[in-house]
Structure 1
Amino acid sequence: MAVCVALLGGESSGKSTLAQALERHLNDIHGLRAVCVPEHLRAWCEARGRAPHAHEQAAIADEQTRLIDRAKHAPGVDLVIADTTALMVAAYSALYFQDDTLLAPSLAAQRTCDLTLLMGLDLPWTPDGLFRDSPAVRDATDSLLRRELQDAGIAFQTVYGQGDARLQQALRAVGTALGRPLVKEDPALANGLRPWSCDNCSDPDCEHRLFTGLLSRNA
């Protein structure tokens, strides 16, 4: 069965861009057969020209999980990149409809992923003229995801940066999940330094300050 990498994050946080970049890089550079499972919620909304109602959320979440499972069991696939999971649908249900009943099953599905990457909030929020709501909703979604993942004991790694910088971070995490290096070793690690850890890891602002501080010192 293929290794599954799940990307989580609120609207306009770079999930789809990173998912597509990972798929191209892993296939073209590393010779892996990587497939990207797109966000079913967005496809659903685009097909109908509207956001789902509360009673439609569960079926959308179930279909996202089904698509990921099908890709994981497809012959010859090495790695599945899930451009979000059912947990995103559950998060939106909780935020928009005050319905948290989808959280437990979506977290159970999230546990079957080998690696969870949470998008950092350092990218500028941009409206798409269709479904994106506001930076406040993105922030609230990020907070909810962090809380639910931490309460459920599901490990996740936050990725920051733009373009290739974010891709390289993600590739390092994917390489660890695969048990093979996908990027050159970080000079900071070669000099005996170790990645930072934060006792207040639920605070994205604190996390971002620490991360960007390390980048500037190691530049």
Structure 2
Amino acid sequence: MSASRCVRVAILGAESSGKSTLAAALAARYGTVWVPEYLREFVETRQRVPVAGDQFFIASTQVARERAADALATRLLFCDTTPLMTAIYSRFYFGGADAALAALTAARDYQLTLVTAPDSPWIADGLQRESEAVRQTIHQMLLDELAARALPFTLLSGSLEQRLLQAGPLLAGYV
């Protein structure tokens, strides 16, 4: 893994938990860029949900976009999801992650991990989102995975403004 020019902040969470909204707001607040979730583009352009064989491609495209955005970022780079979320969804839908996805997930590290609580209304958006029950299950799988990997994180909850206030002190040491 090549060294990053800036602090990479992972923004993780289940579907419809506000990751993209938070990433965009944080990037605007700190005058930097963010990396949108590639899965959303994948689903929109292909008009289908991914299959097991797509998982590594989705995660590696996400990482490639992180690397490209690193050159444009100032101090902080907000990453709307990481290969870890792809691996969790892979386990939920396909029974596990293949070796390449597992290796990519293990090779990525982020200086700060923010997790969005699934406390906003669940909103269906066609192909990409399934249900409130799945959202809650994925959230618990994420918390379990972070604990199993001993990865520190901060759970952000409430409105966007509340989440920004909660994130502020965590980011203060990096700006």
TM-score by length of 1: 0.72
Q: Look up the equivalent residue of 2:149 and give its one-letter code.
A: A
1:165 to 162, 165, 170: 162
* 3-state SS of 2:62 partner: helix
* 3-state SS of 1:6 partner: strand
Q: Look up the equivalent residue of 1:175 and give its one-letter code.
A: A
Residue in structure 1 matched with residue 55 of structure 2 by the alignment: 57
* 3-state SS of 1:23 partner: helix
Consecutive unaligned residues in structure 1, runs of 5 or more: 28-33, 181-219
Structure 1 pair 55/76, CA: closer, same or farther in 2 (3 Å)?
Answer: closer
Shift of 1:91: 1.1
Residue in structure 2 matched with residue 37 of structure 1 by the alignment: 35
TM-superposition CA deviations, 1:176-204 (whole Å, max 9, x none): 3x1x5xxxxxxxxxxxxxxxxxxxxxxxx
Q: Look up the equivalent residue of 1:106 and give its one-letter code.
A: T
Residue in structure 2 matched with residue 16 of structure 1 by the alignment: 20
Residue in structure 2 matched with residue 89 of structure 1 by the alignment: 86
Distance in 1 (alpha carbons) for counterparts of 2:142 and 2:119: 16
1:68-87 matches, within 5 Å, as 68-72=66-70, 74=71, 77-87=74-84
TM-superposition CA deviations, 1:90-123 (whole Å, max 9, x none): 11111011123334531431xx211000111211
Structure 1 pair 167/75, CA: closer, same or farther in 2 (3 Å)?
Answer: closer
Shift of 1:70: 2.7
Residue in structure 2 matched with residue 132 of structure 1 by the alignment: 129
Residue in structure 2 matched with residue 106 of structure 1 by the alignment: 105
Consecutive unaligned residues in structure 2, runs of 5 or more: none
Structure 1 pair 64/75, CA: closer, same or farther in 2 (3 Å)?
Answer: closer
Total equivalences in the alignment = 169
2:116 to 116, 119, 127: 119
TM-score by length of 2: 0.90
Distance in 2 (alpha carbons) for counterparts of 1:37 and 1:4: 10
